[in-house]
Each structure stands twice: as structure tokens, then as C-alpha cells.
């Protein structure tokens, strides 16, 4: 695969390194590195540790995203989704999970709690101008094209 990038990782958990669920998956599943289950009440939030520490190459970021099955079936999502892990961050990766459902949820040790997507990014160099070129869309936004 030509679009691979090598990333240094430390795994302080007893669980395997993050893996792609299928060959064409964009996100790597991260697991809860907890010794006992966490009971999450409705609207409660918590930073769940993964036991993982990474060193991304310059020009890359990692995005923490919810798992769609947990979101649909149980109302669990990540508050700062997508959460950004910068290339110079060396702390433990944690997922800020919130229970948006009306029922409690229990996170089990080793449960796949979120996914991480690693992507290239650019740094902006601003070029100040007095006006921008016109487009067909113009300043239209927030549903300006309708729903049908």
C-alpha cells in the first residue's frame, strides 16, 4: 500500500495495537484501557484512557472520531469530534466520551470506544486582500440550497 506512514507508538495497555476493522477502513479502532467497567449516566462525560502514546511525523494529525455503532445504538459520541492530536503532542491518547442517550451505558475494559484517522494537513500562509473573487454560491450557507 503506497499511502502508508510509519508512526512510533508506545502501548501501555494489555490490548493489541490499534487495527483497521476492514482492509479499506479509514479509522483505527482504539480501546478503553481501564481495569474496571465505567458506568456512564445520561449526559455524563468522561475522558477514557487508551494507554497509547504516539509520535506523529511533521505535517500529520490524528483525528479522534466516534464509532458509528456506539453512536446509533447507545447514543455515545465524542464531545470534541473530531478531536485533533497534533504532531508535537506526546501525552496519552484519551477519548472524551459523552452519553447522549436517556439510559446508562457501561464501558468495558478493552472495548473499542472510538476510531482514529491519521491525515496529512497543510499550514496556512495568509494572503490579505481587499476582496474575494465571485462564485456561483457566493455567501450562501447554512442550508441555502434547501432540503430537496
Sequence-ordered list of residues with C-beta below 8 angstroms from that of 5, at least 6 positions apart, any chain: 57, 60, 118
| Separation of alpha carbons 19 and 28, rounded Å | 5
Residue 2 confidence (pLDDT): 66
The C-alpha cell at 50 is: 487508551
Evaluate whether residue 112 is within a structural domain: yes
Residue 68 confidence (pLDDT): 95
The C-alpha cell at 117 is: 484517522
Evaluate whether residue 13 is within a structural domain: yes
Residue 143 confidence (pLDDT): 76
State how far Cα 92 lies from the chain centre: 14
Evaluate whether residue 91 is within a structural domain: yes
Residue 70 confidence (pLDDT): 96
Please identify every stretch of the chain with a pLDDT value under 50, giving residue numbers as ranges: none
Count the domains in the chain: 1
Evaluate whether residue 2 is within a structural domain: no
Evaluate whether residue 77 is within a structural domain: yes
CATH code: domain of residue 55? 2.70.40.10
Percent with pLDDT over 70 in the chain: 99
The residue range of the domain holding 72 is 8-120
Evaluate whether residue 116 is within a structural domain: yes
Residue 102 confidence (pLDDT): 98
Give per-residue pLDDT as tens, 77-103: 999 989 999 999 999 999 999 999 999
∠ CA 50-51-54 to the nearest 5 degrees? 95
Evaluate whether residue 135 is within a structural domain: no
Amino acid at each position: 500500500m503506497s499511502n502508508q506512514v510509519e508512526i512510533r507508538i508506545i502501548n501501555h495497555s494489555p490490548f493489541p495495537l490499534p487495527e483497521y476493522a476492514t482492509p479499506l477502513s479509514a479509522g483505527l479502532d482504539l480501546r478503553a484501557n481501564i481495569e474496571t467497567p465505567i458506568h456512564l449516566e445520561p449526559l455524563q462525560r468522561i475522558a477514557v484512557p487508551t494507554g497509547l502514546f504516539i509520535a506523529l511525523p511533521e505535517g500529520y494529525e490524528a483525528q479522534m472520531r466516534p464509532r458509528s455503532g456506539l453512536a446509533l445504538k447507545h447514543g455515545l459520541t465524542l464531545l470534541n469530534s473530531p478531536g485533533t492530536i497534533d504532531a508535537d503532542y506526546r501525552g496519552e491518547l484519551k477519548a472524551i466520551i459523552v452519553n447522549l442517550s436517556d439510559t446508562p451505558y457501561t464501558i468495558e475494559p478493552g472495548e473499542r470506544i472510538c476510531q482514529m484517522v491519521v491525515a496529512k494537513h497543510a499550514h496556512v500562509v495568509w494572503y490579505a486582500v481587499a476582496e474575494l473573487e465571485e462564485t456561483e454560491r457566493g455567501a450562501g450557507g447554512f442550508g441555502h440550497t434547501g432540503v430537496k
